[in-house]
Amino acid sequence: MHGIDRVAMISLHTSPLDQPGTGDAGGMNVYVVEVARQLAEQGIEVDIFTRATSSALDPVVRLTDGVTVRHVHAGPFEGLTKNELPGQLCVFAREVLRTEAMFPLGHYDVVHSHYWLSGQVGALARDRWGVPLVHSMHTMAKVKNAALADGDTPEPAQRVIGEEQVVDASDVLIANTDIEARQLVDLYAAEPARVEVVHPGVDTALFRPLDDAARAAARRSRGIPEDAIVPLFAGRIQPLKAPDVLLRAVAELLAREPGLRRRLVVPVVGGPSGSGLDHPTSLADLAVELGIDDVVRFVPPVAQAELAEWYSIATLVAVPSYNESFGLVAVEAQASGAPVLAAAVGGLPTVVRDGRSGLLVDSHDPLAWAAAIGQVAGDPAFRARLAAGARRQAEKFSWAATADQTLGVYQRARALMRESAA
């Protein structure tokens, strides 16, 4: 027996019920939901605490058998930015502790917090409940600030200090990749023995290649010609994710090969987020400025099943981010049979096999990205090899494996806490 019966997950700043691709909802939302579901499959009850952002939300929502989302009232429902949320930590923590107090002593066996704001609350719950704290950073201020996009806003000192405190308070830190583990040690002085690497996964039944007939039908339903070249971006529209790099690369490609214009469709699937909210039309304005607004198509965030179809009809999926702790878009796209062009940063070299499942680009220079797009789009045989390799690469990652390893981390965290108390 694993000895873990109930887990309190904390995802303060974004709800697992939110639609990924806009606001603060992204890969972390998918991660929390999928790991919770897989743990529930093993008979573990998971409560996910998140901040209520609407009075219409039920206080308790059953996500699936064994997984409950608890909406905590902390601050006004709307209008708070992520940078304003630290002011609500005390209220949020009080309500989390109050919920636990309704149950018999020792209700939860472990606290798993996601992102530094949640880690602050998790540290308090750890000490109050006498259970271990496992923390997943997902992103880190020091890493982001070291690779800022032009014009992006640096993460505040408050977050840097808060992250350092969470690292010190955690019994075990979960890193998505070996690179992230090294960053935790080198930048945050984490004890190497308390850092565990657990790769996120992908649902290969949902994200899968379409056959030729289904792919053609999916393109027709979206008004995309069957012979179109479709370089796709999916994700939150903000400087960190660098969708502008794809647009500038497309402009370079068309300047070099004007004849491609009649066959080119560039979907941007997602909504403004983060500092991108300051100028929500900036990417559309850039498309006009570059003279490519006729080929760029903006698509609001879509449900996972529809996103899988978008990936599958793409010629390639671009992930030009300035940093990614892992890159769920890259692994989802590969599972859908789409070659991925990814910036060689963060966890993306772990996800994408250069020359086998896609291409890694060592810069954010639009000329380099234009060349990479041209290489994949202009060589059908090469593209087919990448597409086959993409699916094989994605099959190395599964949410079941992620949950199994996470459960092992919970058990180790509990052992470490007992050792330190002895």
- Dist. CA 106–CA 84, nearest whole Å: 32
Whether residue 115 is annotated as binding a ligand: the answer is yes
63 in Cβ contact with 29 (< 8 Å): no
Whether residue 225 is annotated as binding a ligand: the answer is no
Whether residue 244 is annotated as binding a ligand: the answer is no
Which segments within 11-122 are labelled E, that is strand? 45-51, 60-64, 67-72, 110-114
User: How would DSSP label each residue in 224-248?
Assistant: --TT-B-EEEES-BSGGG-HHHHHH
Q: Take residue 116 and report the two structure tokens written for it.
A: 């530094």
Whether residue 182 is annotated as binding a ligand: the answer is no
User: How would DSSP label each residue in 114-152?
Assistant: ESHHHHHHHHHHHHHHT--EEEE-SS-HHHHHHTPPTTP
Whether residue 311 is annotated as binding a ligand: the answer is yes
Q: Which of 221, 174, 234 is nearest to 200 (CA)?
A: 174
Whether residue 339 is annotated as binding a ligand: the answer is no
Locus of tokens 């040690």: 185
Whether residue 13 is annotated as binding a ligand: the answer is yes
Whether residue 28 is annotated as binding a ligand: the answer is yes
**How many other C-beta atoms can be found within 10 angstroms of the C-beta atom of residue 165?**
14
187 in Cβ contact with 316 (< 8 Å): no
- Dist. CA 422–CA 150, nearest whole Å: 51
Whether residue 27 is annotated as binding a ligand: the answer is yes
- Dist. CA 121–CA 337, nearest whole Å: 40
- In the 3-class helix/strand/coil scheme, how is 371-417 assigned residue by residue? HHHHHHHCCHHHHHHHHHHHHHHHCCCCHHHHHHHHHHHHHHHHHHH
Whether residue 177 is annotated as binding a ligand: the answer is no
Whether residue 332 is annotated as binding a ligand: the answer is yes
Whether residue 64 is annotated as binding a ligand: the answer is no
Burial status of residue 142 (CB atoms within 10 A of its CB: 0-12, 13-18, 19 or more): middle
Whether residue 142 is annotated as binding a ligand: the answer is no
Instruction: Taking the CA atoms of 174, 177, 180 and 184 in sequence, report the sign of the dihedral they define.
Output: positive
**How many other C-beta atoms can be found within 10 angstroms of the C-beta atom of residue 398?**
18
Whether residue 24 is annotated as binding a ligand: the answer is yes
Q: Which residues are documented as binding site?
A: 13, 19-20, 24-29, 82, 115, 139, 159, 236, 241, 302, 311, 314, 324, 332
Q: Which residues are documented as binding site for Mg(2+)?
A: 311, 314
Q: Which residues are documented as binding site for 1D-myo-inositol 3-phosphate?
A: 13, 24-29, 82, 115, 139, 159
Q: Which residues are documented as binding site for UDP-N-acetyl-alpha-D-glucosamine?
A: 19-20, 27, 236, 241, 302, 324, 332
